[in-house]
C-alpha cells in the first residue's frame, strides 16, 4: 500500500508545483498533456500487468530460469517500444492535440509538457516491466523503494525547473522524464540484486534459446495483446472524461484534473490489494491450488472494500483542505469543491472493479478483461452522451457508472475461472505418485 500510495505522487507533485503558480493555462496544459501521455504510455501497460501474472505463475511453478527470462524480455520489449514512441513523438502529439483541443494557450502548454515527457518514454516503459516483475515475485518492498526514488527525483526536478527556472508546463514534463530515467537505472540495480549477480551475470546464465523460445513468446504476446486492447479501452474512458471537461472550459478542465488526483490516489492505493491478488493468484494457478486461489480472492477483496470505504470518508472530510493547498485560482478551487462528492465516492464504487482486475490479471485471463473493458467503454460513452445536457454533473455521473459497469461485465467470468482451477487441481492430484 505504501508503494502504491507513492505512485500517484508524481501526478500530485506535478499538479501542486504548477497549480500554485496561479497559471490556469499551464495547469490546464498539464492536465491535457498528462492525459495524452497516459493514453500513449499506458497503452503499453501490459508490460506491467502481463509480466506480473506470468512471472507469478513461473515463480509458483518453481521455474527460476523462466522467471529471469521474463525480466529480460520485459526490459527489451519496453525499451524498444519506448524508443519507437520517442521517434514518433511529433505526429503523435500533433494528432492528440487536434482531437483534444483545450484552446490556444492550453494547447501550447500541453505541447511543451508532452514533448518533454516523450524523452522519458524508453525509461517509463522499462519501469513498467521492472515493476511487474517485482510484483510477480511478491517483492513489494523493492517496488516501494523504486517508487520512492522516482517520486523524490520528480519532486526535486519539478521544483527546480518550474519554480527555479520558470519553465512552466514544459518544466513539469522534463522533471518527470528525468525522474523516469533515474528510476529505470535504480530498478535494474534492484532487479539484478533480487535475481543474484549483476546484469552481465544475469545475461550470461540466461540461455538465448530459452529467452526467445517460441512458445514462451507466443504466450506472452497472446496475453499482452488482450491486455493492450483492454488498457486502450479503459484509457479511452479517462480520455473521454478529460476531453469532455475541456469542452466545458479551462476552469472545468483544471478542476476535474485536480479531482482526478484524488481518484488516482484511491486507484493506486486500492490496487495494492489487487496487485497482491495478482501475485497470489498467479502463484495459486502455477501450483494448481484452489484453496490458495479462494483465500487470495476473499482476503484481498475484504480489505479492498474496507479500504475503499475509509478512503471515501477521508476524501469527503478532508478534500476541501487539499484542494485549497493544490490550487490558488479561486474559480478552479470553487469548481473542484462543488464536484468533490463525486470524486469522494469513487474509492467505494471502484473497489470491486479494481479487485476483479487483479484476479483476472493474475490468472492471465486477457480475453475476459478485454471483453469486459470494451463493453464498459461503449456503454460509458453512450451514457455520457445521453447526460451531456447536464454539463459537468452528467459527466461525473457517467464516470461513476463506468466503475459499476466494469465490475458487472467482469464478474460473470469468475465462476468459470474457479471451475478451471478446480479441474486443474484434480488433474494435478491424479498425476502425483502415491
- Tens of pLDDT along 9-36? 666 667 777 666 666 677 777 777 887 8
Q: What is the DSSP letter of 412?
A: G
SS (H, E, C) 171-237: HHHHHHHHHHHHHHHHHHHHHHHHHCCCHHHHHHHCCHHHHCCHHHHHHHHHHHHHHHHHHHHHHHH
Give residue 289's region: left, alpha or beta (phi > 0; psi -120 to 50): beta
Confidence of residue 206 (pLDDT cuts 50, 70, 90): low
User: Exposed, middle or buried by CB within 10 Å (0-12, 13-18, 19+), for 202?
Assistant: middle
Task: Please report whether residue 433 resides in a domain.
Answer: no
Residue 434 belongs to some domain of the structure = no
Between CA 385 and CA 382 the distance in angstroms is: 5
Q: 431 in a domain, yes or no?
A: no
432 pLDDT band, cuts 50/70/90, is: very low
At 303-321, the pLDDT tens digits run: 888 988 999 999 999 989 9
pLDDT digits (tens, 9 = 90+) for 279-295: 778 777 776 778 888 88
Q: Which residue has the cell 512458445?
A: 215
Highest-scoring range by mean pLDDT, 102-111, 354-363, 417-426: 354-363
Residue 237 lies in a domain: yes
In a domain, 292, yes or no: yes
Establish if 31 belongs to a structural domain.
yes
* Percent of the chain predicted with pLDDT > 90: 21
Q: Would you state the pLDDT for residue 211?
A: 60
Question: Mind listing the pLDDT tens digit for each residue in 59-76?
Answer: 777 777 777 788 888 888
Residue 430: inside a domain, yes or no? no
As a whole number of angstroms, the distance between CA 352 and CA 302 comes to 10
- How many domains does one find in the chain? 1
Domain that holds residue 29: 2-425
At residue 103, the pLDDT reads: 66
The pLDDT value given to residue 427: 42
Q: Is residue 105 part of a domain?
A: yes
Distance between CA atoms of residues 70 and 195, nearest Å: 12
Amino acid at each position: 500500500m505504501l508503494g502504491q500510495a507513492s505512485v500517484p505522487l508524481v501526478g500530485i507533485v506535478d499538479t501542486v508545483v504548477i497549480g500554485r503558480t496561479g497559471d490556469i493555462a499551464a495547469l490546464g496544459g498539464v492536465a491535457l498533456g498528462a492525459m495524452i501521455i497516459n493514453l500513449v504510455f499506458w497503452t503499453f501497460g501490459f508490460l506491467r500487468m502481463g509480466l506480473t501474472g506470468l512471472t507469478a505463475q513461473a515463480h509458483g511453478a518453481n521455474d527460476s530460469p523462466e522467471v529471469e527470462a521474463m525480466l529480460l524480455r520485459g526490459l527489451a520489449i519496453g525499451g524498444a517500444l519506448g524508443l519507437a514512441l520517442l521517434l514518433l513523438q511529433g505526429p503523435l502529439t500533433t494528432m492528440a492535440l487536434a482531437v483534444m483541443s483545450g484552446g490556444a494557450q492550453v494547447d501550447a502548454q500541453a505541447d511543451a509538457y508532452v514533448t518533454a515527457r516523450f524523452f522519458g518514454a524508453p525509461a517509463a516503459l522499462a519501469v513498467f516491466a521492472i515493476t511487474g516483475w517485482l510484483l510477480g515475485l511478491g517483492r513489494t518492498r523493492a517496488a516501494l523503494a523504486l517508487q520512492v526514488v522516482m517520486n523524490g527525483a520528480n519532486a526535486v526536478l519539478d521544483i527546480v525547473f518550474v519554480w527555479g527556472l520558470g519553465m512552466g508546463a514544459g518544466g513539469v514534463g522534463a522533471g518527470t522524464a528525468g525522474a523516469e530515467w533515474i528510476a529505470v537505472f535504480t530498478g535494474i540495480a534492484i532487479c539484478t540484486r533480487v535475481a543474484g549477480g549483476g546484469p552481465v551475470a544475469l545475461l550470461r546464465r540466461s540461455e538465448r534459446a530459452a529467452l526467445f523460445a517460441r512458445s514462451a513468446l507466443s504466450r506472452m504476446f497472446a496475453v499482452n495483446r488482450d491486455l493492450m486492447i483492454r488498457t486502450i479501452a479503459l484509457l479511452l474512458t479517462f480520455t473521454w472524461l478529460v476531453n469532455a471537461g475541456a469542452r466545458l472550459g479551462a476552469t472545468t478542465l483544471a478542476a476535474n484534473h485536480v479531482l482526478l488526483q484524488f481518484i488516482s490516489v484511491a486507484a493506486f492505493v486500492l490496487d495494492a490489494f489487487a496487485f497482491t491478488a495478482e501475485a497470489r493468484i498467479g502463484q495459486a494457478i502455477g501450483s494448481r491450488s484452489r484453496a490458495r486461489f479462494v483465500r487470495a480472492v476473499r482476503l484481498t477483496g475484504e480489505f479492498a472494500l474496507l479500504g475503499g470505504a475509509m478512503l471515501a470518508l477521508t476524501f469527503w472530510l478532508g478534500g476541501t483542505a487539499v484542494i485549497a493547498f493544490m490550487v490558488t485560482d479561486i474559480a478552479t478551487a470553487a469548481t473542484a469543491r462543488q464536484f468533490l462528492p463525486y470524486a469522494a465516492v469513487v474509492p467505494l464504487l471502484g473497489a470491486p472493479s479494481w479487485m476483479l482486475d487483479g484476479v483476472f490479471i493474475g490468472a492471465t485471463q486477457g480475453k475476459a478483461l478485454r471483453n469486459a473493458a470494451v463493453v464498459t467503454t461503449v456503454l460509458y460513452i453512450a451514457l455520457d452522451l445521453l447526460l451531456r445536457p447536464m454539463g459537468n454533473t452528467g459527466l461525473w455521473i457517467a464516470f461513476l457508472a463506468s466503475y459499476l459497469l466494469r465490475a458487472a461485465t467482469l464478474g460473470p467470468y469468475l465462476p468459470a475461472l474457479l471451475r478451471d482451477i478446480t479441474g486443474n487441481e484434480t488433474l494435478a492430484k491424479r498425476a502425483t505418485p502415491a
